Structure 1
Amino acid sequence: MKQEISNGRSTARRDEPFVVFMMGVRVNRVLFFWRWVPVLLALRAMVREMGAAPEKGCLGGETFFSWRTVTLVQYWDSYETLERYARCPESGHLPEWQRFNREVRRSGVVGLWHEAYTVGSAEYEAIYADVPVCGLARATVHMPAVGGRETRRRKGIREKLGGPVEPEATQKAV
Structure 2
Amino acid sequence: MSGKVIEGRVTAAAEGEVVVFLIGMRINALWAVHRWLPVLAAMPRMLRELRRDPAAGLRGIRPLGGGLRAFGVVQYWESREKLLAYAADRDKEHRPAWTEFNRRARDGRGRVGIWHETFAVPAGAYESIYVAMPPSGLGRAYGTVPVGRRGERAADRLAYKG
TM-score between the two structures when normalised by the length of structure 2? 0.86
Gaps of 5+ in 2: none
Change beyond 3 A, Cα 1:12–1:157: closer
1:75 counterpart = 2:85: no
* Superposed structure 1 runs of 4+ greater than 6 Å apart: none
Residue matched to 1:171:
none
Residue matched to 1:135:
137
Residue matched to 2:111:
109
Q: In structure 1, the residue corresponding to 2:23 is in which secondary structure?
A: strand
Residue matched to 2:40:
40
1:38-61 CA-to-partner distances (Å, cap 9, x unmatched) read 111111111111122110111111
What CA distance in whole angstroms lies between the structure 2 residues aligned with 1:16 and 1:157? 13
Q: In structure 1, the residue corresponding to 2:38 is in which secondary structure?
A: helix
Change beyond 3 A, Cα 1:148–1:5: closer
CA RMSD of aligned residues (A): 2.0
Q: In structure 1, the residue corresponding to 2:73 is in which secondary structure?
A: strand
Q: In structure 2, the residue corresponding to 1:151 is in which secondary structure?
A: coil
Q: Which moved more, 1:88-97 or 1:134-143?
A: 134-143
What is the one-letter code of the residue matched to 2:139? Answer: A
What is the one-letter code of the residue matched to 1:22? Answer: L
Query: Identity across aligned pairs (percent)?
Result: 38
Which residues in structure 2 correspond to 1:156-167 (within 5 Å)? 156=156
Residue matched to 1:121:
123
Gaps of 5+ in 1: 160-174
What CA distance in whole angstroms lies between the structure 2 residues aligned with 1:27 and 1:11? 36
What is the one-letter code of the residue matched to 1:141? Answer: G
What CA distance in whole angstroms lies between the structure 2 residues aligned with 1:2 and 1:78? 26
What is the one-letter code of the residue matched to 2:68? Answer: W
Relative CO higher for 1 or 2, CA cutoff 8 Å, sep ≥ 6?
Answer: 2
1:84 counterpart = 2:92: no
Shift of 1:6: 2.5
Larger radius of gyration: 1
Q: In structure 2, the residue corresponding to 1:104 is in which secondary structure?
A: helix
1:20-40 CA-to-partner distances (Å, cap 9, x unmatched) read 111111111111112111111
**What is the count of residue pairs matched by the alignment?**
157
What CA distance in whole angstroms lies between the structure 2 residues aligned with 1:49 and 1:107? 30
Q: In structure 1, the residue corresponding to 2:152 is in which secondary structure?
A: helix
Shift of 1:126: 0.9
Cα contact 2:124–2:158 (8 A) shared by 1: no
